[in-house]
Amino acid sequence: MADVRPVSSVGAGQDLVVDDLVKVFPGDVYAVNHVSLTVHQGTFTTLLGPSGCGKTTTLNCIAGLEQPDGGRISVGSAVLTDVARRIVLPPERRNLGMVFQSYALWPHMTVYDNLAFGLKLHKVPGPEIRKRISEVLELVGLANLAQRYPFQLSGGQQQRVALARAVVAQPRVLLLDEPLSNLDAKVREQARTATCSSTRRRKRSTSAPRPCSWPASSARPRSCLPS
Residue 185 is assigned to a structural domain of this protein: no
> What is the C-alpha to C-alpha distance for residues 140 and 147, in angstroms, rounded to an integer?
15
Residue 101 is assigned to a structural domain of this protein: no
- Quick one: pLDDT band at residue 22, thresholds 50, 70, 90? very high
pLDDT value, residue 205: 57
Q: 174 has which bridge partners?
A: 97, 206
> What pTM was estimated for this model as a whole?
0.77
Is the pLDDT at 224 greater than 60? The verdict is no
Q: Which domain holds residue 11?
A: 1-90+201-227
Q: What is the CATH number of the domain that holds 65?
A: 3.40.50.300
> What is the C-alpha to C-alpha distance for residues 90 and 65, in angstroms, rounded to an integer?
8
pLDDT value, residue 185: 75
pLDDT value, residue 127: 96
pLDDT value, residue 179: 74
Residue 132 is assigned to a structural domain of this protein: no
Residue 144 is assigned to a structural domain of this protein: no
Residue 166 is assigned to a structural domain of this protein: no
Residue 43 is assigned to a structural domain of this protein: yes
> What is the C-alpha to C-alpha distance for residues 10 and 15, in angstroms, rounded to an integer?
9
Q: Cβ contacts of residue 185 below 8 Å, gap of 6+?
A: none
> What is the C-alpha to C-alpha distance for residues 111 and 158, in angstroms, rounded to an integer?
9
- Quick one: pLDDT band at residue 211, thresholds 50, 70, 90? very low
Helix axes 126-139, 111-121, angle to 10 degrees: 130
Mean pLDDT of 15-19: 94
Residue 30 is assigned to a structural domain of this protein: yes
- Quick one: pLDDT band at residue 45, thresholds 50, 70, 90? confident
Residue 38 is assigned to a structural domain of this protein: yes
> What is the C-alpha to C-alpha distance for residues 123 and 146, in angstroms, rounded to an integer?
21
Q: How many domains does the chain have?
A: 1
